[in-house]
Amino acid sequence: MEEENTEVQEQQPQDVNVIEQTNAAAERLEKANAELKATMEQQRAMQMEMKLSGSADAGPAPVKEDTPAEYANKALRGELHYTDE
């Protein structure tokens, strides 16, 4: 009987230690989640600002190359414009 009481008393400090560690880990996770949420909100605001300012996905328009048939048709219609450089 005394052996069982000793075992129970020895287990209680370990259980308390595990609970404290779990609570500390939960607090760290909550803090990390709050920081991540703030970072995501900042990133979302920056993306919205880029879209509204017109700079999102901006860049030069892709150059379309004419096929040989299209080039020949433009040449026959006189639509080719050459500049001397």
Note the pLDDT tens digit of each residue in 51-63: 887 765 656 777 8
> Is pTM beyond 0.85 here?
no
Residue 11's Cβ-side half-sphere holds a number of Cα atoms within 13 Å equal to 6
Q: Where are the domains of the chain?
A: 2-77
Q: Which two tokens stand for residue 6?
A: 């000793």
At 28, which amino acid appears?
R
Question: What is the rounded CA–CA span in Å between residue 5 and residue 17?
Answer: 19
- What distance in Å separates the CA atoms of residue 36 and residue 8, rounded to the nearest whole number? 41
pLDDT in tens, 27-78: 999 999 999 999 999 999 998 888 887 765 656 777 888 899 999 999 999 8
